[in-house]
Amino acid sequence: MNPYNIRQVQEDDFLTIAEIATYCPPMVTERNSIYHLFTKFFKSTSLIIESDDKKVLGFLLGFISQDDPTEAYIHLLCVIPQWRNKGLAKDLIDEFLNILSEKGCSKINLITSPGNKKALNFYMKMGFKIEYEGREIIINGVKTIKNYNGPGEHKLICTKQLR
């Protein structure tokens, strides 16, 4: 049995999520209101992973598109440093995939920075593929979408087909 549990977020988890996010650079740390938004309005698709003694070890914030319910998006994924490389991020993704499959989703989307090699390698191992749409530039040897999130905010678009 695993020494941890995965559950859907509760609204009062948002402050803990905000604190944990500070341990996950180069991931962008959001305003607390974004974490609150996910824990209030996207509970069924946002997850916490916690130890048996209820200490939060990581989280995944995601949602299903309102415009195309066959598509979902992972906004943030984070595991605290001392619990990394133990399969927790994979377990969070797998649980998210289970939820999406039950809800009829067939595609997951996410973005990451071209310099975040660790995240990119992880997502590639999880079966995500880089999609190329928009103006491309090469950053750190990786074809990247120029200005995807605004001026100078170059990103990789990663997708995974579920069926």
d(CA 162, CA 98): 10
68, 89, 105: which is the final residue of a domain?
Answer: 105
67 and 140: one domain? no
Assign 27 a pLDDT band (cuts: 50, 70, 90). Answer: low
How much is the pLDDT for 1?
Answer: 54
pTM of the entire predicted model: 0.91
d(CA 87, CA 76): 17
Domain range spanning residue 42? 1-105
49 and 119: one domain? no
99 and 116: one domain? no
What tokens appear for 20 in the block?
A: 């944990």
Kindly report, residue by residue over 85-115, the tens digit of the pLDDT: 999 999 999 999 999 999 999 999 999 988 8
